[in-house]
Structure 1
Amino acid sequence: MAAQPIFILREGSKRTHGSDAQHNNIMAAKAVAEAVRTTLGPKGMDKMLVDSMGDVVITNDGATILKEMDIEHPGAKMIVEVAKTQDAEVGDGTTTAAVLAGEFLTKAEELLESGVHPTLIASGYRLAATQAAKILDTVTISASPEDTETLEKIAGTAITGKGAEAHKAHLSRLAVHAVKSVVEKSEDGKITVDIEDVKTEKRPGGSIKDSEIIEGVIVDKERVHTAMPEVVKDAKVLLLSVPIELKKTETKAEIKITTPDQMQLFLDQEEAMLKEIVDKVIRTGANVVFCQKGIDDLAQYYLTKAGIFAMRRVKKSDMDKLSRATGARVITNLDEIEEADIGYAGLVEEKDVTGSRMTFVTGCKDSKTTSILLRGGTEHVVDGLERALEDALRVVGVALEDQKIVVGGGSPEVELALRLKEYAATLKGREQLAVMKFAESLEVIPQTLAENAGLDPIDMLVEMRSQHEKGNKRAGLNVYTGKIEDMFENNVVEPLRIKTQAINAATEAAIMILRIDDVIASSGGARAGPGGMPGGEMPEDMM
């Protein structure tokens, strides 16, 4: 009898295995890394991303580009995850992490073609990553939290290349001031920084140099009634997460009214109930009310009559910041308000900012919340500024927490490449080859910096290696002069965590992709037919 073929996969499912699966995944990951490579460094180019709705984003931020690219290939998605992790952990260095992951895979592919097993490559890469962390410790510089100048240099490095160089000094000062104002110290002296405590509000119009820091909270809302006071000094702040309006019945209800008198009685009763709710608010003694829900038109009239500044539909994130700034508690029941629930602000003021009204809450006691008002010529400029400032805030926070920095300009990567090659010579077995390739991969960063600046990458790399061999561990590429210089003197510094996180995340992603030798793509949804295998839907062009 002829052997009958056994089908274990659903009809239409695709399976790629062995070297084909590895090659496909590596190709996809390399393509993603190549897409962001031209954005690396101060002279990197920008990408214009247009989504399905026609909205335009212009940026050279690696994480933003990869997030907006809407990537489908599962192998490529792993590189996107590297950038996302880097962004969440440090805030900057996303392009570096993606480019490194792509280069690790490029070099690994060379080893695979030479007959080195993926497990041995993975083992060698892990050894190299561990050794890299030790080598990086030898080139770190201590940064004191009191050293504002160095912190401003760190912020400036993060902002460089993101379209705001002309106002880099001003934005760096804003970032450092904002982060320092939300620093919290534990009893053992450990510093923690929650960047969520820094609120960024953007407003097109004016110049970038008009951007300012506000010691307090900016709420992008205006008073509910124009007759309410515009300015309230010595404000007693009440935060409500309940509406100042009548509740609707939870079940369907029908009220039968047969005479005009009954109608009037119903309206009078409704008004009396609303007045009672407003009276509860007035009795608290608060003269500023921020409400997360709605405020009825009639309630607005009563609040105006009482001289209270009120605002409705305030975002929950803003309510949390107002609570931290003023010391007020967010109230969920109007019948149980105590004096301790009321917060304080020296000044609550509504101002006109380029044609729209915003509310500024300042003069708070022991405020742990700061706001930055960003200005710029157009909406795209302000959006770019916000992304640059976000990176600056995050790296300053990381530098304050770790108090360890390294120089930039490709300097740490060249030092790591040289020392890892020395380390590889001490190893036996095929892992030595993987460590050597790992070392070579790191040189992609200085090479890319040179390429993006229009310089010769080979000449620059040779010169950098020469300087590092002489013991100049801070020698890096100055892309503006095209020379190899001391990066610390050029104020190009960044937190150590940017480098360690980028190398570790890129290594783990590369290892994960290398270890995949079988890709099974289901033809339908998650539920397969009899004898089939579950799996998500995957487009044809993935394989």
Structure 2
Amino acid sequence: MANQPIFILPEGTERYSKRDALRMNITAAKVLAGIVRTTLGPKGMDKMLVNSLGDVTVTNDGATIMSEMDIAQPAARMLVETAKKQEEIVGDGTTSVVVIAGELLSKAEELLDDGIATSVVVKGFRNATEKAVELLQGIAIDADDKETLKKVAVTAMSGKGSDYAKEHLADLVVEAALRIEEDGKSDIENINIQRVSGDSVEDSFLAEGIVIDKAPLSKAMPKDIKNAKIAIMKYPIELKDINTDAKIDITSPDQFEMFLKNEEQMIRDLVDKVVDSGANVLFCQKGIDDMAEHYLKKAGIMTFKRVKKSDMERIAKATGAKLVTDIEDLSEDKLGSAGHVYLDKLFDHELTFIEECENPKASSIVLRGSTRYVTEQISRAIDDALGVVAATIEEGKVLIGGGACEIDLVKQLRDYGETVNGREQLAILKYAEALEVIPRTLVENAGLDTINLIADLKAAHEESNLIGINVFTGEVVDMKEAGVIEPLRVKIQALQSAGAASEMILRIDDMIAARNALNSTGPDESGNDASGMPPMPGMGGGMPPMM
């Protein structure tokens, strides 16, 4: 019994230890970074994603690519979650996060191969990230005018399918963001994008108020109301379902007729409460009975049912209406107002416009495009632009783009690294080297001479930190004059997220998973399992004997 091995994990468990686990995770991160890297910058390429239902998505938006891909490898999934969080917080920079994290892990692998301890690498990367954030804040410039916001929006949309109309779209984005600004902040959730296929992108416009993708319940209802008094309710105007245990005894036709009249009276009472409030436009988040629809139509009330929660919130922001959850609470002081509510048809799309609102804090962009694929792609570009403009309004600081701030960071981080003693210095220098991946990728994706352009860029930064790469002309130029500007918050968040993700992956020295988690379908034709990694020899289920 003394030599009998002891198994503490169930049969079929996969275990990858120490360097094997680390290499597997680093390789997965580098593969994911390689997938999205070609989409970076104004000259980035697109990806075509086809889901299990055959729906096609064509995009170079990093967040969309990673959310649509079915990624099985756990470390790669962690990177995807990091990118999604970047999108949620600042609205852009998802591709940069993954590319930088992949490059950091690649440089970390070189250090580990040279015998540097993982803890030293992690500490060096963490200190370098903190220093990089401090340096970025030092080189940031003020963004206090509308023209700067427009340049930020144009930079965010460059290379995302909207280049031929980005000036016009940037104007719409900036105007929409400034319109809803409150206390120095713009909540872009209060801006919705209505996509309408037909006509060209240049025909897109910013509505005067809110646009919802709904038509009134009945064609006989009013379609155009001036001086609208708007009620928004989260209460159904219909009869409640009778309890399944309830029993109704009807013994004569008179009783049945009385029962129907009572039901009708209950519906009329609900409608009367709407009429008595003075509302002539009603948006209901719940259902509306056919009989209630009839009485609302007779009362001349423009009525909508099953309105989305997000639309209800925007209507409240734009018109000042208060959401009513109990019809008994509906009164004149809960109503919102708008100068004009009307139904309009754009091609085969019926939209309801709520306009002439007093100081609206919500707005809508009506996006036109020749096909559904065009409008979807440009909608994603506008989402990114809205995110960066909102971040700039709140932060009030921007950075010079085109690889300028990254090269400046590389230079200053190397100077900082020389002041640090011990092996941690090597990690800081590798971190600085890793940041070159952004300008290098911009050049590679543009099909330009990487070695010479990066060398020219470094040389130019001895004179000015505003010099970046114009990927359209293949020259190093003053990016401030060229109008290539990025928000400070997006860049800081990208560095912090990439640093945190790489640190998290580097600290993993053991992977223990049920076989179904990493190898649910068995090896494919190339011999790799479902995680995309080759099977590791000698790593079957069970722990080694405990002596």
TM-score by length of 2: 0.93
Counterpart for residue 208 of structure 2:
215
The answer to whether residue 194 in structure 2 is matched with residue 201 in structure 1 is yes
Counterpart for residue 318 of structure 1:
311
Counterpart for residue 174 of structure 1:
172
Equivalent of 1:295 in 285, 288, 293 = 288
The answer to whether residue 457 in structure 2 is matched with residue 464 in structure 1 is yes
Counterpart for residue 348 of structure 1:
341
Provide the secondary structure at the position in 1 that maps to 2:482: coil
Q: CA deviation at 1:539?
A: 5.4
Q: CA deviation at 1:249?
A: 1.7
2:393 partner letter? L
Contact 1:446-1:461 at 8 Å conserved across structures: yes
Q: CA deviation at 1:540?
A: 6.7
1:43-58 correspondence runs (5 A): 43-58=43-58
Contact 1:129-1:503 at 8 Å conserved across structures: yes
The answer to whether residue 53 in structure 2 is matched with residue 24 in structure 1 is no
Counterpart for residue 188 of structure 1:
none
Shifted more, 134-143 versus 444-453: the winner is 134-143
Structure 1 segments, 4+ long, off by >6 Å, are none
Q: CA deviation at 1:194?
A: 0.9
Provide the secondary structure at the position in 1 that maps to 2:123: helix
Provide the secondary structure at the position in 1 that maps to 2:220: coil
Distance in 1, matches of 2:138 and 2:335, equals: 52
1:224-235 correspondence runs (5 A): 224-235=217-228
Provide the secondary structure at the position in 2 that maps to 1:183: coil
Superposed CA deviations along residues 258-292 of structure 1, whole A, max 9, x for unmatched, are 44333333222222221222112111111111111
Contact 1:142-1:403 at 8 Å conserved across structures: yes
Q: CA deviation at 1:302?
A: 1.2
1:266 partner letter? F
Where do 5+ consecutive residues of structure 1 fail to align?
186-190, 526-537
Q: Do the aligned partners of residues 463 and 540 (structure 1) sit closer, same or farther apart at CA in structure 2, a change above 3 Å counting? A: closer
Where do 5+ consecutive residues of structure 2 fail to align?
518-528, 536-547
Superposed CA deviations along residues 450-506 of structure 1, whole A, max 9, x for unmatched, are 11001111111100000012x210111100000111111111001111211111111
Contact 2:196-2:349 at 8 Å conserved across structures: no
Counterpart for residue 66 of structure 2:
66
Superposed CA deviations along residues 315-340 of structure 1, whole A, max 9, x for unmatched, are 11111111121111111222232321
Distance in 1, matches of 2:268 and 2:136, equals: 67
Say how many residue pairs are matched.
523
Contact 1:326-1:367 at 8 Å conserved across structures: yes
Distance in 1, matches of 2:134 and 2:259, equals: 77
1:97-496 correspondence runs (5 A): 97-144=97-144, 147-185=145-183, 191-469=184-462, 471-496=463-488
Distance in 2, matches of 1:446 and 1:541, equals: 29
Q: Do the aligned partners of residues 540 and 321 (structure 1) sit closer, same or farther apart at CA in structure 2, a change above 3 Å counting? A: closer
Q: Percent identity?
A: 49
Q: CA deviation at 1:217?
A: 1.3
Shifted more, 273-282 versus 445-454: the winner is 273-282
The answer to whether residue 496 in structure 2 is matched with residue 504 in structure 1 is yes
Contact 1:100-1:441 at 8 Å conserved across structures: yes
Q: CA deviation at 1:418?
A: 1.3
Provide the secondary structure at the position in 1 that maps to 2:39: coil
Superposed CA deviations along residues 372-391 of structure 1, whole A, max 9, x for unmatched, are 11111111111111110011
Contact 1:154-1:494 at 8 Å conserved across structures: yes
1:70 partner letter? D
Contact 2:72-2:531 at 8 Å conserved across structures: no
Provide the secondary structure at the position in 2 that maps to 1:352: strand
Distance in 1, matches of 2:316 and 2:32, equals: 43
1:497 partner letter? R
TM-score by length of 1: 0.94
Distance in 2, matches of 1:309 and 1:151, equals: 39
Q: Do the aligned partners of residues 372 and 42 (structure 1) sit closer, same or farther apart at CA in structure 2, a change above 3 Å counting? A: same
Q: CA deviation at 1:203?
A: 1.2
Q: CA deviation at 1:139?
A: 2.1
Q: CA deviation at 1:255?
A: 3.0
Counterpart for residue 535 of structure 1:
none
Contact 2:410-2:433 at 8 Å conserved across structures: yes
Counterpart for residue 80 of structure 1:
80
Counterpart for residue 525 of structure 2:
none
1:227 partner letter? A
- Superposition RMSD on alpha carbons, in Å? 1.5
Contact 1:10-1:523 at 8 Å conserved across structures: no
Distance in 1, matches of 2:328 and 2:510, equals: 63
Distance in 1, matches of 2:231 and 2:351, equals: 18
Distance in 2, matches of 1:157 and 1:278, equals: 51
